[in-house]
Amino acid sequence: MVATADGARVDIIARDERATPRDGADKTVRAIADSTRAALDAAGLPLHEMLAVGLASPGPLDHRTGVVHFSPNIVGFDEVPLAAWLSDELDGATVFLDRDTAVAAIAERITGAARGVADFVYITVSTGLGGAIVSGGRMLRGVTNTAGELGHWPVALQMDVARKDSDELPRCGCGSYGCAESFAAGRNLAQAFGVSDAAEVYAAATRGDARAAALVERAERAVAALAVGITNALNPSLIVVGGSVAEKQRAHVIEPMRRAIRERAFAAPASAVQVVPAALGADVGMVGAVLVARERAAGEGEWFL
């Protein structure tokens, strides 16, 4: 995507979308570079007029060095210096990298549902499940830059102490088990039902398929438990929920979160928090990447660094 940003406004002037390669990190980086050039061509802009590139990737990653430590959903993304590689592909262009959910949270705070809010949590329920935390007006990063990986908050455990911890719990892509993502992420929900898209699971549940309905109920319980944990532990004023699954299945994502907070969270933080849909839709990551590039190129954005 090529865009300009003025204050809180982002104008998309060209875009190019293509599938992520499944045959190595080098091919993925080359595809991103090709997509960038295609968008620039569509906008009628030469590469040298581009101020900076904002790049979002699943993590964990280091947003300062531009290195992706590991991304289980992208083939070959294991200690990949993504920002540097893309810069090389784009003739030395300045590239700023951040985690996809952090980028989305930045966009929602600057120009979306959390505009001006000092304490909020962004959650995405999409192919995966992730998040970002803004506390006291600053992005919470943690010691190793992994704070906000809320999809890997454990929400289930094996109750029978005579059995192994992991028995009958779905294994998550992170290698653990019982994570919210392992139950509620679109990819995992579809895989558990044996289809290619989570939309098919929700459709089957609506038709009365008992197995699909049980999987959807498990997903609802997972995001509900996650919402209670976030409310009690982080005491935000907003939980902003985005992602393709959340956007299309609000009754199965946002409503269970709201209901669980009312019924189960501590009274004080529950009375202070609102669960709201993200405002920027499918473009949230692209808008956020533009804003990240603008702020960091100008030496600004200290609140999210």
CA gap 221, 229 in Å, rounded? 12
Checking if the pLDDT of 72 tops 80, the result is no
pLDDT of the residue at 95:
98
Domain ranges of the chain: 2-99+283-304, 113-278
pLDDT given for residue 297 in this prediction: 95
Asked if 227 and 121 touch (Cβ cutoff 8 Å), the reply is: no
Other Cβ atoms less than 10 A from the Cβ of 17: the count is 9
Rounded to 5°, the CA angle 7-90-48 comes to 60
Residue that has been written with the tokens 């935390």 in this structure: 133
Q: What are the two backbone dihedrals, phi and then psi, of residue 284, each rounded to the nearest 5 degrees?
A: -60, -40
94 band by pLDDT with thresholds 50, 70 and 90: very high
d(CA 235, CA 266): 10
Tell me the per-residue pLDDT of 212-228, one tens digit each, with 9 for 90 and over.
999 999 999 999 999 99
Q: Which residues fall within 8 angstroms of residue 97, CB to CB, at 6 or more apart?
A: 55, 56, 57, 61, 63, 66, 67, 68, 82, 83
Q: Nearest CA to 127 among 73, 180, 169, 176?
A: 73
> What is the three-class DSSP state of 6?
strand
Q: How far apart are CA 230 and CA 225, in angstroms?
A: 9
- The 3-state DSSP class for residue 9 equals strand
Q: Comparing 2-99+283-304 with 113-278, is the CATH topology the same? A: yes
User: Which option is the CATH number for 2-99+283-304: 3.30.420.40, 2.60.40.10, 3.30.390.30, 1.10.760.10?
Assistant: 3.30.420.40
Residue 11's pLDDT is: 86
The answer to whether the CB of 238 falls within 8 A of the CB of 121 is yes
Phi, psi (5° rounding) for residue 134?
-115, 120
pTM of the model: 0.92
81, two tokens = 């210096």
* pLDDT 10s digits, 141-185: 999 888 999 999 999 999 999 999 999 999 998 889 999 999 999
* Fold of the CATH domain 113-278: Nucleotidyltransferase; domain 5 (3.30.420)
pLDDT band at 106; cut points 50, 70, 90: very high
> Which pairing describes strands 61-62 and 67-70: parallel, antiparallel, or unpaired?
antiparallel
Predicted pLDDT of residue 6: 66
